[in-house]
Structure 1
Amino acid sequence: MPPPAAKPSLLAQILAPLAGFFFFAVGISFLPTSWGPEFPGLGKLLQTLAIPVPFAFSVIAYAVVHRIFDGPLEKDASSLYRISTSPEHFVWCIFEPLVLGSTVLSYYLPRYAYYTSPELNTVVAFGTHIAPLLLLANALPLRRKSPTLAVISVITVLGTLVTLTLPFIT
């Protein structure tokens, strides 16, 4: 049986979702709007990767921030051990960037974009209507872990109420 996990540092708890938001934005920038006839294969490849890339970048940001600011794990512990000891924090760090990024995109894209790809529309629809409900359900266990996570859960609940009022991109 592995030893009890150390509590994540305050800096890691704050920086992990911010880094996830940054990497989510980088992942969204890979979504093609128009590639033209000169790069048909690259455009198709990026359209195929459009949905998993932002999630993958958010997971990478979570892992990197906790590895840097929480120090090394024990020798016999796997890298997934930290995720299994705090699944609520992991879910929050993955879905919060998705909700923030989708909220920004659902506001600006209908006003400034001539064309929105169906993949981007799917990501934003999930981020503005389903992910906030998952975050809301996840906020209740977070409030018992630490004062920082309690504040985060309150912000999440308030953000969920705002996000659920946003329309789909059409």
Structure 2
Amino acid sequence: MRVQSLTLVAASAALLAPTTLPVVPVSHRPHPEPAAHGENGTAAGLLARTRHCAQISHGRYRSDAGVRATIPVCGLPGAVYWKADLDIDCDGRPTRRCNRRTDPQFSPAAAYAQSDGRSLDAEHLPYVVLPAPSRIWDHREHGLRGGSVAAVVYRGRVRYAVVGDTGPRDVIG
């Protein structure tokens, strides 16, 4: 199911996810200074930082079931990333656009819930799906968990999402 509000469609994409969580609670942090105009937060800047792969996975992932495994998980200080196709996951709270009628593989639950305990609303909350922990890679060993922030680069633009679900052990993207 393609959800327009996400502006993310299956195609070449890169994911950059920080691997450490803030130590200071959000409500107690000083307001940050405006960022200087630079390339670090832009799609081009993120892609430049992830051009070379220092592989942290113990193998590679498939982009889809039945295809060859060619995608490594790579690491930078404080972040992990991979470059893969971008599949849309519509699992979570049933909505007008995300339900069993619009997505035959729809599941009313995701691995993680919202902070209020309700199922994720894929129609309004962009989230990424991590592979289930396996011998290839265990995201928990790198500090990734439900709610971790991810930057998704697609078609030259950066979109932010949270970790919201886990999927097959051998597929990523």
Q: TM-score, normalised by structure 1?
A: 0.27
Structure ranking higher on relative contact order (CA contacts 8 Å, 6+ apart) = 2
| Greater per-residue helix proportion | 1
Q: Max radius of gyration: which structure? A: 1
Q: TM-score, normalised by structure 2?
A: 0.27
